Amino acid sequence: MIALKNISKQYAGRALFSEANFDVLPGEKIGLVGRNGHGKTTLFRIITGEESPDSGTVTIPKQYSIGYLGQHLKFTKATVLEEGAVGLPVDEKDAEWKVEKILSGLGFGEEDFRRSPAEFSGGFQMRIALAKVLLSEPNMLLLDEPTNFLDIISIRWLEKFLQSWKGEIIVISHDRDLIDSVTTHIVGIHRGVMRKMRGKTAKYYAQLHKDEEIYEKRRLEDEKKRKQVMEYVNTFRSKASHAKGVQSSLKRLEKMEKLDKLEGIRTLSFSFTHAPFRAPQILQAEGLTFSYTGAEPYLIRDLSFSVSGDDKICIIGKNGRGKTTLLKLLAGKLKPLSGIVKTQVGALPAYYEQANTADLNDDRTVEEEIGAACVTSIDRTRVRGICGAMMFPGDDAEKKIRILSGGERSRVLLGKLLVAPANILFLDEPTHHLDIESCQAMIDAVRDFEGAALVAAHDEHFLHEVATKLIVFQKDGPSFYPGTYKEFLEDIGWEEDEDTPRIKVNVRKEDRKARAHAVAMRSRKFRPLEEKIKSLEQAIVSSETRLAAVNEEMARVSEQADVKRLQELSTELNELTENIDKYYTELHTVTEEYEALKKTLS
């Protein structure tokens, strides 16, 4: 078992996380989630030893190995076979047969072994990198955004592979469907705090939202409680008959923790501005045919379909099959070899392509670049509002384009899309570079847009949420499908799924025994402590609820000058305060015992 104890890390005076604690038990598969810039990749670097925490410890059992697949793929050898051999242990550098076995399991043929890694698509380059990791025979896989630049077929393959992996996994991904399909637990980083939870992303985010609602409610209640107690103290401070109650109230105030209001977190939040359109159809494609050479083989051949005013049509398929090309043809960025694209009078298009970040003016500020996208004059307040929606609030809107990251530049492109009304959107991979929260904001914006949208996408969560119709690129070219993504999978499915390669990773018998023993030990040792912690937490909640009621009644009774009742309430307040302190002390002791036991079992 890997155990992280009291891990803290800061950058430039900002805490990424403080006193973080979680462990990874045998067989667990964990999805690591959190907003971009909140420390997910940094945590990976701490686990692998590439970076040190400011405080805290990472405990890894002896002879426990970790395979790390990062976001950026680097190849140094001339052939796939040589590149794969880089992952072999030092004493097995000549075990070429092992490399061939793993590569074959990952879908490479013998004819591919002598090819350069650079000749392959992003999906197969990821498999080469994965082969190197597997050849090191790790106990755990650390995967940092493994779906970046992968097409939908490669993502589906990766999902099946990770589901069959018998060791431990921690994966960072903006693809919620991938995380939900392969993991057993979620570890989230939020407001510098790390928590681990069994279940899916929806459960984690629902709990996060609930906890913040409870915190804010408790903060407001505490403010009210403090005010009521102070009113009581100020009213009876000078009266000797109330001296004991006043002193007790003052002591209670000293012990009460003052809860700070939660700071707002920058969140991508926007909606596309819809321009009214009355015609039943906004675009028709008739007999579209295209190739970059002007001759066969054609990327697109004789494709026809129509787009209604509120259709959400997703363009899906392998990379290199022509998804972006089709989007450019429909948006008028390219001309077909034959066939036509008709847009109705009154159609107002908006086009987003991630690759267009190179076209941004590096000498402009974010505000200037977004404002320049509007051909007519636009109010500065409106531009500033869009900057804020794109997570460039206040002075951040004055940042120069040249200093922005790739993800920030993509948000500027998106902001430029919002300055003018539109009724048909052309979006090329709009969720790339976004974290899970921002991906959901994009999903909501496209789904709720009153006009039409044509979107090239590979994120299956996006497809399930948004697509009303599809254009599907399979082996024989693109075809129009008049239904949802779920219906497509049920009716037709992916051709490539039928011959998806399989790879079997053996787990040693002693590893299986160790996992079974760990699970048994956890159940036997941990359950009594977990039940005690739950019981104490319930007692605290019950007592604090009654305490709030007593304070409210004291405020009412003080106005009525009912001395006897005030004395009774004062006595009860003291008893409740003592009980709550006792419960918290006992909870602290039991929690320490619980944490010590976890450390022992690691």
State how far the alpha carbon of 79 is from the alpha carbons of 109, 439, 461, in Å.
13, 37, 35
Query: Tokens at residue 56, please?
Result: 């805290």
Within a 13 Å sphere around the CA of 117, how many CA atoms are in the beta-carbon half? Answer: 24
Instruction: Round to whole Å and give the CA distance between 246 and 240.
Output: 10
For 36-50, 113-127, 413-427, 569-583, which range has the lowest pLDDT when averaged over its residues? Answer: 569-583
DSSP characters for 561-588?
T-HHHHHHHHHHHHHHHHHHHHHHHHHH
Most confident of 445-449, 474-478, 598-602: 445-449
At residue 3, the pLDDT reads 92
For 193-207, 333-347, 408-422, 444-458, which range has the lowest pLDDT when averaged over its residues? Answer: 408-422
At residue 48, the pLDDT reads 92
With the C-alpha atoms ordered 42, 47, 48, 50, is the resulting torsion angle positive or negative?
positive
Instruction: Round to whole Å and give the CA distance between 115 and 101.
Output: 16
The answer to whether the beta carbons of residues 369 and 400 sit under 8 Å apart is: no
State how far the alpha carbon of 150 is from the alpha carbons of 107, 144, 454, 501, in Å.
15, 13, 20, 16
pLDDT for residue 251 is more than 90: no
Within a 13 Å sphere around the CA of 540, how many CA atoms are in the beta-carbon half? Answer: 15
What's the rounded mean pLDDT across residues 317-333?
A: 91
* pLDDT tens for each residue of 354-368: 767 667 899 999 999
* pLDDT tens for each residue of 36-83: 878 899 999 999 999 999 999 999 999 899 999 887 788 999 999 999
* pLDDT tens for each residue of 547-575: 778 877 877 777 777 778 878 888 888 88
At residue 316, the pLDDT reads 95
Q: Mind spelling out the 3-state secondary structure of 448-510?
A: HCCCEEEEECCCHHHHHHHCCEEEEEECCEEEEECCCHHHHHHHCCCHHHHHCCCCCCCCCHH
**Contact residues for 466 (Cβ-Cβ < 8 A; gap 6+):** 312, 314, 443, 446, 447, 453, 455, 457
The answer to whether the beta carbons of residues 47 and 2 sit under 8 Å apart is: yes
At residue 502, the pLDDT reads 46
3-state secondary structure of 270: coil
Instruction: Enter the DSSP assignment of 241.
Output: G
pLDDT for residue 519 is more than 50: no
At residue 509, the pLDDT reads 44
Going from N- to C-terminal start, the domains of the chain cover: 2-205, 217-260+508-601, 281-348+421-499
What's the rounded mean pLDDT across residues 115-119?
A: 92
pLDDT for residue 140 is more than 80: yes
3-state secondary structure of 69: strand
pLDDT for residue 324 is more than 60: yes
At residue 40, the pLDDT reads 92
Which of 538, 588, 161 lies closest to 546 in space, CA to CA?
A: 538
With the C-alpha atoms ordered 507, 512, 513, 514, is the resulting torsion angle positive or negative?
positive
Give the position of tokens 């500065």: 380
In degrees rounded to 5, what are phi and psi of residue 27? 85, -5
Our measurement of the distance from residue 338's CA atom to the centroid of its chain's CA atoms, rounded to an integer in Å, reads 42
Model confidence at 504, pLDDT cuts 50, 70, 90, reads very low
Model confidence at 241, pLDDT cuts 50, 70, 90, reads low
Average pLDDT of the chain, as a whole number: 84
Amino acid residing at 459: D
Most confident of 183-197, 220-234, 235-249: 183-197
Model confidence at 506, pLDDT cuts 50, 70, 90, reads very low
In degrees rounded to 5, what are phi and psi of residue 351? -120, 130
At residue 438, the pLDDT reads 85
**Comparing 2-205 with 281-348+421-499, is the CATH topology the same?**
yes
State which fold the 281-348+421-499 domain adopts: Rossmann fold (3.40.50)
At residue 398, the pLDDT reads 93
Give 455: exposed, middle or buried? Use CB within 10 Å, 0-12, 13-18, 19+.
Answer: buried
pLDDT for residue 455 is more than 90: yes
Give the position of tokens 């002007």: 294
pLDDT for residue 597 is more than 90: no
CATH class of the 2-205 domain in this structure: alpha beta
The answer to whether the beta carbons of residues 435 and 36 sit under 8 Å apart is: yes
As a whole-number percent, the residues of the chain with pLDDT over 90 amount to 39
pLDDT for residue 511 is more than 70: no
pTM: 0.69
At residue 576, the pLDDT reads 83
Instruction: Round to whole Å and give the CA distance between 347 and 72.
Output: 40
The answer to whether the beta carbons of residues 312 and 447 sit under 8 Å apart is: yes
In degrees rounded to 5, what are phi and psi of residue 255? -80, -25
For 10-14, 405-409, 556-560, which range has the lowest pLDDT when averaged over its residues? Answer: 556-560
Model confidence at 496, pLDDT cuts 50, 70, 90, reads low
At residue 443, the pLDDT reads 93
At residue 29, the pLDDT reads 96
Q: Mind spelling out the 3-state secondary structure of 280-310?
A: CEEEEEEEEEECCCCCCCCCEEEEEEEEECC
pLDDT for residue 253 is more than 80: no
What's the rounded mean pLDDT across residues 102-130?
A: 87
Give the position of tokens 């950058």: 11
User: Of residues 191 and 246, which shows the higher confidence score?
Assistant: 191
User: Of residues 481 and 518, which shows the higher confidence score?
Assistant: 481
For 121-125, 279-283, 435-439, which range has the lowest pLDDT when averaged over its residues? Answer: 121-125
* pLDDT tens for each residue of 275-301: 998 888 999 999 999 999 888 888 999
At residue 404, the pLDDT reads 86
